[in-house]
Amino acid sequence: MVDRIIKVTSMSYDRYPQNRFGKGSERFRGHPRKMKRYEENGIVIEVIAPDMNYRRDKYKDEVILQVLGASWFTLLEVIPEDENILNLQDTIALSKENRDQIRTIIGRLKYENLTAIGELQVPIAIDKILVDYEKRFVSFLNKASPLSLRQHSLHLLKGIGPKSLKVILNERKIVPFISFEDFEDRTTVKDIRSLLKQRVVDEVTTDTLRHRLFTRNIPTERK
């Protein structure tokens, strides 16, 4: 398989304004409403030794890393340059221009194909991303928009109801939030990081969700 950065397709921000945040690379291809998104960085959630490698293709004798993308939470399988220098929860570059610890990106991975260790590491990695990229998620809280006449995208965060939403919308009109702490101080919502984490976990682990705030569609078949 030709070594390449994984492409994740989604519709443009014009249709899904609640997704107007993030630092993944974006490039338009063809129709202006179609957009390709790339994972720039990822977090190692599993290191699979060759004798534990389940693959039966040309990668069957390789050490395989299971990785969670830091921009769109894409699950990936990659081949490292040197497996001895990488550990669980290490951050690695995935972009073709900057990757120096990866030889090949095999492809996207479904949650059900993670190892038991990989599954346990997913929530830890998500929490790390929320800490490292706090500004990105605060931007989401400032820009999140309605999904319909009756439902707002912030309602998808369990714990935010109609009363909390009203306070949030009023406060961000006055002055945009600048941090999770600022958000909690000015609203009735406590521990917003936990609410965001649970939503991301739900999106990564569930393929039947109608709305996705932080992730791309889960692949329908193994790549």
97-126 confidence digits (pLDDT tens): 888 899 999 999 999 999 999 999 999 999
| Rounded-to-integer distance, Cα 32 and Cα 39, Å | 20
23 has a pLDDT exceeding 70: no
Strands of the chain, DSSP E: 7-11, 25-28, 34-38, 41-48, 64-69, 75-80, 91-93, 102-108
**Between these two residues, 3 and 174, which has the higher pLDDT value?**
174
The pLDDT of residue 68 is 98
User: Which residue type does 125 have?
Assistant: A
Q: Which CATH number fits domain 41-129: 2.170.140.10, 2.120.10.90, 2.40.50.140, 2.102.10.10?
A: 2.40.50.140
- Which ranges in the chain are annotated with CATH 1.10.150.280? 132-205
CATH number, domain 132-205: 1.10.150.280
Q: Does 34 have pLDDT greater than 70?
A: no
Number of helical H runs and strand E runs in the chain: 5, 8
Q: Order across the sheet with 34-38: list the strands.
A: 7-11, 34-38, 25-28
Alpha-helix runs per DSSP H in the chain:
116-132, 134-143, 162-174, 180-186, 192-205
Q: Per-residue pLDDT tens for 176-216? A: 999 999 999 999 999 999 999 999 999 999 989 999 999 98
pLDDT band at 65 (very low <50, low <70, confident <90, very high): very high
- The C-alpha atoms of residue 203 and residue 28 are separated, in whole angstroms, by 25
Question: Would you call 219 helix, strand, or coil by DSSP?
Answer: coil
pLDDT of residue 217: 79
Range list for CATH 2.40.50.140 in the chain: 41-129
Instruction: Check pLDDT > 50 for residue 140.
Output: yes
142: nearest Cα among 107, 101, 113, 174 = 174
- Residues 70-76 have a mean pLDDT of 96
* More confident call, 175 vs 14: 175
